[in-house]
Structure 1
Amino acid sequence: MRSLHTRRFTTAAALAAATVLAAAVPAFAHVTVQPGNAPQGGYTAVAFRVPNENESASTVKLEVSLPMDHPLASVRTQPMPGWTATLEKSKLDKPLKSHGQDINEAVSKITWTADAGTKIGPGQFQEFRVSLGALPTDTDKLVFKALQSYDNGDVVRWIEESKEGQPEPAKPAPVLALTKAADAPAAGVSASPAAGGHHGGDSAGATTEQASAKSSDATARTLGVVGIVVGVIGAGLGVAGLRRKNGSPSA
C-alpha cells in the first residue's frame, strides 16, 4: 500500500512540474516585438526577437510585413553582422504627411537573410532592431506579420491575430501596443527624429535593458517555481522512504 501511495504521489508531483514548465515555455517561444509598447505619435526603436524552436534546424531568414493601413514614414534597420536586410516599399493610396512633405510610398516589408555561415541555431535566439516613426495616433496597436524560415525548408508563419476574449492563437503575429503619449514611459522614444538620422538611440538602449531585465526576472520566477516543485517531489520521496523503513520488520 505504501509503495502504491508513493508511486501515486511521485506521478502527481511530476505532472505538476511538467505543467509548470509547459506554462513557462510559450512565453519564450513566439516571435515578439521588444519592448511591446510605445507612445502614439513618436519615434521609437524596437527589436523583433526571434527564438529558434526547431531542435534539428536553424533559422536563416526573417520576413516582417509592416501594416499598410497605418504606414510609417521612417523605417530603418540597424546593421547586424552576418545578416543582410532588404526593405521593400509599396505605393500609398493616400500620401502620408511627414515634416511638411508628402510621402507617396512606405516600407511594407523587411527581410533579413543570413549570410553564409550565419544562422540562429537550436536553443538560440536573435534580435533584429528597427527604428520606426512617426507612430500613428488613430490606433492602439500595430500588427507585424512575420515569416521565419529554417535551413531545412520549413517556414513558420507568425500571422495570426489575437482576439479579445479568446485564447492566444498558436502562431500569433508580433504586436506593438500604442499608448497615449501622456501615459507612456519616456524611455526608448523621442518626439522627433534625432540628429544623424537615428531615432531615440540612447533611450532605446535603456528600454532594451529594461525589457531584458523583465525577461530575466520572468525566467528566475519560472525556475524558482520549478525548484519548489522538485523540492516537493524530493521531500515526498524522503517521507515515503522513511515510512517504509519504519514499517519494515526487524532482522
Structure 2
Amino acid sequence: MTDSRTPLSRRALAATAVTAALVLPAAPAFAHVTVSPDTTEAESYASLTFRVPTESDTASTEQLVVDLPTGTPFLSVTPRVLPGWDVEVETGTLDEPIEVEGATVDEAPVRVTWTAQDGHEVPPHEYQEFALRVGALPEAGTTVVLPAHQTYTDGEVVDWDDLPAGDGTEPQAPAPVFTTTEAADSAEAAGVAGASGPAADPVSRWLGGAGLVVGAAGVAVALAARRRA
C-alpha cells in the first residue's frame, strides 16, 4: 500500500510524535510533591512554594505536613494565607543548640501543617500550591531536605521523604529538596558597576574631552566675530 500523505503531513506527524516523546516522560515528575524557592542564596530569606498534586482517581488531598530542617533550622517561618485551609506552625527542640548573634537558641519551627476546611480539598488530578517565607537560609552548598506527608480523604498517607540513591536513580517518593548557593557579594557587585561606569571607559573620556575642546573653539569664534562687528 502506498502512503498517500504529503511530505508536509508526514513531517507534521513526525513532529507530533517527537513532541509526545519529549512530553510524556516528564509527566510522572509532575505527580511528585515539589518545592520551588524564589532564591537559594545563603543567609537570605526565601519564599518556598510547595506544589501538591492529587494522584488518586477517587480521593482528594485534605492535609499536607512539611517537616522543616532541625540541623540547619529556619528561625523565621511565616506561611502565606490560603483561603479554605487552616495552617499551623509547630515549634520543637533542635538536635543541637545553635548560636545566633551571641545568643543560644535551642528551639525553632520544626513542622508546618495545612488542613483543608470542608469543601476545599484538592480534587483528583488537580493540584494546590502552599507557600512559606523562611529564613535565613544556611551556608552555601547545604542540601535543604523538606519531607512532605500528603493525606487523602480515604485515609491514605503518602510520605514524600525518599532521598536520591547513590547510583543517581530517582526514588519512588522523592522528598522536596533544594541546595543553597553563594550569597551575592555587594562589594564585588559595586566594583563591577564602577568598572562599567564612565570613569573606566577611555573612549567615553576621550569623546568627552573632544567635546569640550570643540565647545571652547566655538565660543572663541563667536567672540572674535562680535569684536569684528
Aligned to 2:226: none
Give the letter aligned to residue 87 of structure 1.
Answer: V
Distance in 1 between the 2:156 and 2:70 partners?
A: 27
Aligned to 2:127: 125
Aligned to 1:86: 88
Aligned to 1:108: 110
Q: Shift of the alpha carbon at 1:92?
A: 2.4
Give the letter aligned to residue 182 of structure 1.
Answer: A
Distance in 2 between the 1:93 and 1:159 partners?
A: 19
**Higher deviation after alignment, 45-54 or 101-110:** 101-110
Q: Shift of the alpha carbon at 1:101?
A: 3.8
Verify the 8 A CA contact 1:30 1:171 in the aligned structure 2: yes
Aligned to 2:188: none
Distance in 2 between the 1:75 and 1:96 partners?
A: 17
Deviation per residue, 1:162-185 (Å, 9 max, x gap) = 1454211111000022111139xx
Distance in 2 between the 1:17 and 1:180 partners?
A: 37
Distance in 2 between the 1:30 and 1:37 partners?
A: 21
Verify the 8 A CA contact 2:60 2:123 in the aligned structure 1: yes
Aligned to 2:55: 53
Verify the 8 A CA contact 1:36 1:176 in the aligned structure 2: no
Within the candidate set 29, 32, 35, 2:34 is matched to 32
Aligned to 1:141: 143
Q: Shift of the alpha carbon at 1:67?
A: 1.4
Deviation per residue, 1:9-57 (Å, 9 max, x gap) = xxxx899787545302023111111137511111111111111111211
Within the candidate set 152, 155, 172, 1:153 is matched to 155
Distance in 1 between the 2:47 and 2:39 partners?
A: 11
TM-score, structure 1 as length reference: 0.62
Which one has more relative contact order, counting CA pairs under 8 Å at least 6 apart?
Answer: 1
Q: Shift of the alpha carbon at 1:122?
A: 1.5
Q: Shift of the alpha carbon at 1:89?
A: 1.4
Distance in 1 between the 2:48 and 2:140 partners?
A: 20
Distance in 1 between the 2:141 and 2:92 partners?
A: 21
Aligned to 1:64: 66
Distance in 2 between the 1:180 and 1:172 partners?
A: 25
Distance in 2 between the 1:33 and 1:161 partners?
A: 14
Verify the 8 A CA contact 2:159 2:173 in the aligned structure 1: yes
Distance in 2 between the 1:93 and 1:51 partners?
A: 32
Verify the 8 A CA contact 2:140 2:181 in the aligned structure 1: no
- Percent same amino acid at aligned positions? 40
Q: Shift of the alpha carbon at 1:69?
A: 1.3
SS of 1:182's partner is coil
Uncovered stretches (5+) of structure 1, i.e. residues with no partner: 4-12, 184-251
Aligned to 1:171: 173
Q: Shift of the alpha carbon at 1:139?
A: 4.2
Distance in 2 between the 1:77 and 1:172 partners?
A: 23
Deviation per residue, 1:53-84 (Å, 9 max, x gap) = 11211100001011111111111111111111
Verify the 8 A CA contact 2:38 2:47 in the aligned structure 1: no
SS of 1:181's partner is coil
**Higher deviation after alignment, 161-170 or 145-154:** 161-170
SS of 2:30's partner is helix
Q: Shift of the alpha carbon at 1:140?
A: 2.4
Verify the 8 A CA contact 1:51 1:125 in the aligned structure 2: yes
SS of 2:87's partner is strand
CA RMSD of aligned residues (A): 2.6
Verify the 8 A CA contact 2:39 2:47 in the aligned structure 1: no
Distance in 1 between the 2:124 and 2:133 partners?
A: 28
The higher radius of gyration belongs to 2
